[in-house]
Amino acid sequence: MGERVPLRSSLRWRPLLAAPPLVFLTLFFLWPVLAILERGLRPAGRVDLGVVVDVLTDPTVARVAWFTLWESALSTIACIVIGLPGAALFARVAFRGRRTLWSLLLVPFVMPTVVVATAFIVLIGPSGVTGVSLTGTIWAILIAHVFFNYAVVVRTVGAAWMTLDDRTVEAARTLGASPVRAFLSVTLPQLRAAIAAAASVVFLFSFTSFGVVLLLGGVRQRTLEVEIYDQTARFLHLDVAAVLAILQLIGVVLVLVLLGRLRSGHGRSGTAVVGADLRAGREQLRPPASLGARLFLLINLAVMGAVLAAPLVVLVIRSLSTAQGWGFAAYRALGSARRGSTAFIDPTDALGNSLRFATVTMILAVLLGACGAWAIAGRGTPRGRSNGGRGPRFGGAAELALMVPLGASAVTVGFGCLIALDRPPLDLRTSWWMLPIAHTVIALPFVISVLVPGIRSVDGRLLDAAASLGASRLGVWWRVELPLVRRSLLVAAGFAFAISLGEFGATAFLVRADDPTLPIAIGRALGRPGGDSFSQALALSVILLVVTAVVVLAVDRLRPIRGAEF
């Protein structure tokens, strides 16, 4: 029997594996984005820079763009300041429930924006339980952004902090440095890349935030994302919306370039969010023995409770409080609302639609993401052996191309699909497939970022050994590699499901009247006057909260030993 070539020594399959996700993103991401560019630059069938100039010189647009910029910067600073102590806690302090709390941090990170907005309306709205109304102010938006992005800072910086050697800090302390001086001169320089990358991700998410600003910002606090939606859905000014989308895309690309340079220059530093390995640096954990350490633990737990738990707990409690007393009246009333109203959405149908779209999205995203991940992390050469640079260059280029939608605005994706996919051969505007396709575009980068580290963590010697024993390439993949990556696949599937379940921005553009989702039902209930509509929104929000939390906690428990990158 002739010698078989190990699976890891072949490069020819990588372009074939990359083809399906690249073709998918070309059709359903690149083409819609180009359609936006065409609509903005050629509104009358010819290039008209006058429209662009008129929009960009409009004082209202300048005010919206400036608010988007400084609000995102302020949100980023707040998240870093509040999140760094939490990162230090998980990196250096051993306490009961540490593993569970680490998993719970992911729940707010993927929580549907309409659920979060509803929770903050209950907490700091006009009739909120705190008695302080902040809706319609910048403070409501900032608090909500900290809620969403706290986990980005804690899990990103904390994962990097866990890998640092404490002996350098101890040496600085021995030489007379105070704890603050040791942190500033020794620890902080080593965490600079992680902090910068976390800040880039937070800024990106804040810059493209839609549901939070739409529902909490009121008419005065407007970002580019909300303005694009209003110009399209309310005023039908597609050319204005297209120019604004171009402006936003430029900002997103600049942030992505910065994030890419941080990733390439510092490896994984600063990007481990979804599945960061909590066991790294376990030998450096210390129980809170001193009074200061115990106080540090208690303060961090109090911050997490106030920032992350309080809005969701208040939401659940408020949904159970009715005019008739405590009970499930709001939930029982979901099916008996005014069915004659054109705005009525049957909650059972909405939940069924959400689950159906999420299931289809999960299947599409995992299939396409697996192809892309194996193309990026494919076994081009054995470890430590050069192949002339072709493998790494291809993997890097494929990763860049497939990760671009990570920074894409959901509103931009929905708007692009709305104006591009309305004619043959892809006339999908009236098809229910439009939503899962848009959701897959949004979820695909997350799936790939989970799978690539899991594939790279497989010991290539196992694959070579199986190939040397006579197994075919397909046999090695099926019998050896796939079982080792199975948990990463389950994690990726869970996150794709959760992302689709709560997606609101693109869905607001593309949803059909007969296929509303649960986030759309919540948004419409919040927009209708009357206490019954608000109670319906509370009950629907709690249902979506429970489903999302169950999925996310199950996903994080399934994560592989080596964490996935964000």
CB-based contacts of 103: which residues, under 8 Å, 6+ apart?
553, 556, 557
Q: Characterize the bridge pairing of strands 325-326 and 426-427.
A: unpaired
Q: Pick the closest to residue 306 from 542, 100, 123 (CA basis).
A: 123
Does 46 reside within a domain? no
Looking at 329, 361, 394, the residue that finishes a domain is 329
CA distance 253 to 59: 24
Q: Does residue 131 lie in a domain region?
A: yes
Q: How far apart (Å, rounded) are the C-alpha atoms in residues 116 and 148?
A: 9
**What is the C-alpha to C-alpha distance for residues 119 and 312, in angstroms, rounded to an integer?**
6
The predicted pLDDT at position 282 comes to: 58
Compute the C-alpha angle 451/457/463, nearest 5°.
Answer: 105
- 146 three-state secondary structure: helix
Output the domain CATH number for residue 91: 1.10.3720.10
DSSP 362-413: HHHHHHHHHHHHHHHH---S-TT---TTHHHHHHHHHHHHHHGGGGS-HHHH
> What was the pLDDT predicted at 145?
93
Q: Which helix (H) or strand (E) holds 414?
A: helix 410-420
User: Do 479 and 530 have their domain in common?
Assistant: yes
Structure tokens that stand for 359 in this block: 């299931």
Residue 334 lies in a domain: no
8 Å CB contact between 416 and 505? no
Burial of residue 132, with CB atoms counted within 10 A of its CB: 0-12 exposed, 13-18 middle, 19 or more buried: exposed
Q: Assess whether 292 and 391 both reside in one domain.
A: no
Q: What is the pLDDT of residue 262?
A: 64
Number of independent structural domains in the chain: 2
Report residue 468 CA to chain centroid gap: 41
Phi, psi of 426 (to 5 degrees): -120, 70
Question: Tens digits of per-residue pLDDT, 303-351?
Answer: 999 888 888 898 888 888 876 778 788 787 776 655 545 456 777 788 8
Contact between residue 265 and residue 193 where contact means Cβ atoms under 8 Å apart: yes
What whole-number distance in Å separates Cα of residue 115 and Cα of residue 543?
Answer: 9
> Quick one: pLDDT at residue 566?
41
70 within some domain: yes
Beta strands in 245-298 (DSSP E): none
Asked whether residue 335 is domain-assigned, the answer is no
Domain range for 107 is 52-329
Supply the pLDDT for residue 359. 94
211 and 123 belong to one structural domain: yes
**CB-based contacts of 465, cutoff 8 Å, min separation 6:** none
Helix (H) or strand (E) holding 542: helix 531-558
Q: Give the model's pLDDT for residue 283.
A: 59
Looking at the structure, tell me whether residues 130 and 248 fall in a common domain.
Answer: yes
Measured between alpha carbons, how far is residue 44 from residues 33, 238, 242, 274, 402 in Å? Answer: 18, 12, 13, 45, 32
Same-domain pairing of 117 and 245: yes
Q: Please state, in angstroms and rounded to a whole number, the distance separating the CA atoms of residues 543 and 358.
A: 15
For residue 188, the model assigns a pLDDT of 85
Same domain, 500 and 566: yes
Residues with Cβ within 8 Å of residue 391, at least 6 apart in sequence: 11, 14, 378, 380, 381
Which residue(s) pair with 321 in the sheet?
326
Pair 387, 297 in one domain? no
Domain check: are 301 and 435 in the same one?
Answer: no
In a domain, 387, yes or no: yes
- The reply to whether 480 and 563 lie within a common domain is yes
CB-based contacts of 360, cutoff 8 Å, min separation 6: 433, 436
Q: What is the three-class DSSP state of 19?
A: helix
78 contacts: CB under 8 Å, gap ≥ 6: 142, 145, 146
Please tell me the distance from the alpha carbon of residue 556 to that of residue 548, in angstroms, as a whole number: 12
pLDDT of residue 265: 52
**Do the beta carbons of residue 552 and residue 110 sit within 8 Å?**
yes
Contact criterion met (CB below 8 Å) for 334 and 347: yes
Same structural domain for residues 28 and 88?
A: no
Single pTM value for the model: 0.78
Residues 14 and 74 in one domain: no
The residue out of 329, 351, 374 marking a domain boundary is 329
Residue linked to tokens 């919040």: 526
CB 272 within 8 A of CB 453: no
Residue 378: closest CA among 451, 475, 446, 274: 451
* CB proximity list for 35: less than 8 A, separation 6 or greater: 416, 419, 420
What does the block give as tokens for 97? Answer: 């429930």
**Residue 177 resides in a domain:** yes
Question: Do 98 and 198 fall within a single domain?
Answer: yes
At position 444, the amino acid (one-letter code) is L
Asked which of 284, 299, 329 is the last residue of a domain, the reply is 329
Residuewise pLDDT in 10s, the chain (566 residues): 444 444 444 456 667 888 899 999 999 988 888 887 777 677 666 666 777 788 888 888 889 889 999 999 999 999 999 999 999 999 888 888 888 888 788 788 878 888 888 888 888 888 778 888 888 889 999 999 999 899 889 988 888 888 887 788 788 778 787 778 888 888 888 888 888 888 888 888 888 888 888 888 877 788 888 888 888 777 777 778 888 888 887 887 777 677 666 655 544 443 455 545 555 555 577 888 888 889 999 999 999 998 888 888 988 888 888 767 787 887 877 766 555 454 567 777 888 899 999 999 999 999 999 998 888 876 543 343 334 334 456 666 777 677 777 766 777 788 888 888 877 777 787 788 889 999 999 899 888 888 887 787 777 777 777 777 777 777 777 777 778 888 888 888 888 998 898 888 788 878 887 788 888 888 888 777 666 778 888 888 888 888 888 887 777 666 554 443 44
Cα-based distances in Å from 102 to 146, 460, 518: 17, 31, 28
In a domain, 336, yes or no: no
